[in-house]
Each structure stands twice: as structure tokens, then as C-alpha cells.
Amino acid sequence: MPGEIDRPFVLGAQSADPELPSIAQWGASYRFGLDNLDSIGGEQWKDWRSSLEMVGSSWVIPIIEESVIKEDVSHAVSEIVSKS
């Protein structure tokens, strides 16, 4: 089981708005890393790019994509923190 260092990102929200990703409709949060981006449960969450766009975080997408190519989660964390 990967630890917190491997899955440093937590996305969560709570809303009854059917236009938002399913994770927001559940009122839940989920921990993810580069290894499980495409396997998180939920009908709409399977498309993580679309989900991030819907919650106003599209600027994170290229950072995560670059980190997937580099296979370096610490790169994603540093870039996101530096741009926050």
C-alpha cells in the first residue's frame, strides 16, 4: 500500500451540484498520486483532468502530466506548492 509520500494529493469537496465531479457530490475526499490517477472511483472522477477543470484547478494539469512523464511525484508537489 503506497504511503502518504506516494499519494500526496487530496481532492475533496461537498456540493449537491450535479455539474460538479462525483467526488464533490459524495462530500468526500480522496488521496491520490501519480500511480492511481486513472483508477479513482466515481463516475466522473475517472477523468481527472475534467474534474480538476470543473473545480477551477486546471493550472495543475500540466504539472501533473509532466510529473507522470518524469515519474517524479516530488516534482509535482514542488511545482504546485511554488505556484500556490
pLDDT at 45: 58
CA angle at 28 for the pair 67 and 49, rounded to the nearest 5°: 35
Question: Per the structure block, which three cell numbers stand in for 24?
Answer: 464533490
Q: pTM of the full predicted structure?
A: 0.68
pLDDT at 13: 63
Each residue's pLDDT, cut to its tens digit, for the chain (84 residues) gives: 555 677 777 766 666 677 766 656 656 666 778 887 777 665 545 677 877 887 788 999 999 999 989 989 888 889 988 988
Q: How far apart are CA 13 and CA 5, in angstroms?
A: 22
pLDDT at 9: 76
pLDDT at 15: 65
